[in-house]
Structure 1
Amino acid sequence: MLHEIEDIEQERLRVARRSSSQDAPPVLSTFDMTLTVPAAEFEARLRSVLDVALGLALSVDFAEEDLPVAAVPAWFAEVSGPLSAEAPLFARRGRERYAAAIRGGSWELQGWLHEFDPDSESRGWAWWDLTYSADGKVRIWADSWGEDFFACDELRWLAYVAGAEDVSGPHLRRVDAWEQARRGAGTPETTPREGWIRSGDEAGKYVRVQELPDSPPSYLILLAHDQEFTNGCGDHWVEDRSSLDAFFAEGGWVVDWSGSDDSLEASIRSRLRSLAAGVVTPDEVSAWALHTMEGDSPQLRDARIWTALDRLSGADLLEDPGQYLHGKEDVDAWLEEFEGDGAVRSWPHP
């Protein structure tokens, strides 16, 4: 089954936050499992690995034999392929359970990541959701386009090495079963909060905080170089709210939560910050700005928005061969003018 870029973008959003009922297909495929680890840790591991894989699907050329793996969580890289002595116990045992259940060898990291090639037809599923039952079972919901038999061993591998003791399925279920499950006990209902770290140990990076179902709630903290979280650079898990407060305090983080939306203003802010930090190239930013200026967003009538886009569209201008006309001081000035008085708050957010 081919995965269009737009579909992958939506799938990655579902990994980050709950999907909408109005977008659900008539039927979904489910995988049921019992766990050997706390449910919140298991979910956090699944989502962090899938976020990286789908981010690569949106940003790199899969014609390359070796895909970038710097953002892959260390525990997953250590268990995928030749077994590293650093692989944690839960992952090593999951590897053994996968081999016993599937009767095959382990996955190589590069081979597993290549399953997410947008032009490949081998991956027969797309992530939809994860829910919990009152008896402690976990259920993964996937969109298999109505098929009851499809390639899904890469999903089984991820589930086992993330801490599943057994994995059964897939089974087709009507969408109303998912809607009922997502309203059940223990189902996460919160939307992740995203912001930009203005100062502290990780200054200049983006942070996403997701409350996970547990008693008390635990939290997944993702870091990235860009607002779209396609270039991840770390993930953390804390067991409760007091630990979350301590985590932010220890890092001395002051976070601007004003960029946690999908507006054009937020996108411009993200590109300006990434350009200032050297995460993206002037050519990439210029191409994005020119394409955006040709759109029909009502926000383009805003003089502040248009001025910022106009500046970004000229970011690739050359003064001399190999030397850009606008340097870091110019970009910093553009960013300072655009941001103005941002909403700057440390955690907890209002």
Structure 2
Amino acid sequence: MSSPEIARIVHRPAAAPDDRQPLSAFYVEVESFDDAEGFGRRLREFVRAGVNASLVADFGLDAISEADIPPWTRESWESAAERYAAHRGDEEWTVQDVLFAFDPSQREWSWWDATSVFGNIVCVWVDSQGEAVYNCEELRWMMYVAGARAVVGPLLRDSGDWKQSVSLGTDGAALC
């Protein structure tokens, strides 16, 4: 399955979407500096499952196949719920909630990249078509499942800031 978004999940994008249009950024605190790369890899793998669903799933059905959901997500779902609730409230997402949020007729963002900021801080970049406010709670939930301790954003940032950053989790071995 191929799409420009899948390509950006697996590999660092070659260029910003449009130098005049900002990207949306989330600043993510992970447990330690040596977990930043693993967080980037896990988040890319989880987002890829959602993007795959957006390409092939029938969103008119009652359930979407969970076959692409990485097995490690089940192990971290409960601890993610605790961290998410501490920052956003008690709403807990199910796997089906996450997958249905990738309905192409409703999703308001597309994956761009995950980059290193400093130490245990990661920046997750998405293309929100320059919108400062948009529906992205499924992405925030996915960040917590992938290992985020705290998430701040979204904040609009100049795409030049992304260009100067180093991508995380793009080795592609487990993602291809």
Structure 1 segments unaligned to the other structure (5+ residues): 1-7, 79-86, 193-207, 210-220, 223-228, 230-350
Shift of 1:100: 1.7
- Conserved 8 A contact 1:32-1:168: yes
| Secondary structure in 1 matching 2:118 | coil
2:99 to 93, 109, 113: 113
1:154 to 132, 138, 144: 138
Closer, same or farther in 2 for the Cα pair 1:104/1:20, shift >3 Å? same
Structure 1 stretches of 4+ with a deviation exceeding 6 A read none
| Secondary structure in 2 matching 1:133 | strand
Closer, same or farther in 2 for the Cα pair 1:166/1:57, shift >3 Å? same
- Conserved 8 A contact 2:26-2:123: yes
1:14 aligns with 2:11: no
Task: Provide the aligned C-alpha RMSD in A.
Answer: 2.1
The number of residues matched between the two structures is 172
Distance 1:146 1:22 in 2: 12
1:321 match? none
- Conserved 8 A contact 2:109-2:136: yes
| Secondary structure in 2 matching 1:164 | coil
Shift of 1:60: 2.2
1:152-188 deviations in Å (ceiling 9; x for gaps) = 1101101112111110011111111111224xxxx45
Distance 2:169 2:95 in 1: 32
- Conserved 8 A contact 1:29-1:143: yes
Structure 2 segments unaligned to the other structure (5+ residues): none
1:64-108 deviations in Å (ceiling 9; x for gaps) = 1111112211232x3xxxxxxxx34xx432210101211132101
| Secondary structure in 1 matching 2:66 | coil
| Secondary structure in 1 matching 2:129 | coil
1:98 to 55, 70, 84: 84
1:75 to 72, 75, 79: 72
2:147 match? 163
Q: 1:265-280 alignment to 2 at 5 Å?
A: none
Distance 2:16 2:115 in 1: 18
Shift of 1:189: 9.7
Higher gyration radius (CA): 1
Closer, same or farther in 2 for the Cα pair 1:47/1:188, shift >3 Å? closer
Bigger RCO (CA 8 Å, 6+ sep): 2
Amino acid across the alignment from 1:158:
M
Shift of 1:53: 1.2
Amino acid across the alignment from 2:158:
R
Shift of 1:22: 5.3
Amino acid across the alignment from 1:12:
I
Shift of 1:39: 1.4
1:52 aligns with 2:49: yes
Amino acid across the alignment from 1:179:
K
| Secondary structure in 2 matching 1:47 | helix
1:245 match? none
2:58 match? 61
Q: 1:87-236 alignment to 2 at 5 Å?
A: 87-88=75-76, 91-119=77-105, 121=106, 123-182=107-166, 187-188=167-168, 192=171, 208-209=172-173, 221-222=174-175
Amino acid across the alignment from 2:4:
Q
1:36 aligns with 2:31: yes
- Conserved 8 A contact 1:130-1:138: yes
- Conserved 8 A contact 2:26-2:153: yes
1:27 aligns with 2:37: no
Distance 1:160 1:60 in 2: 24
**Percent identity, aligned pairs only?**
34
Closer, same or farther in 2 for the Cα pair 1:152/1:112, shift >3 Å? same
Give the alignment's TM-score, normalised by structure 2.
0.87
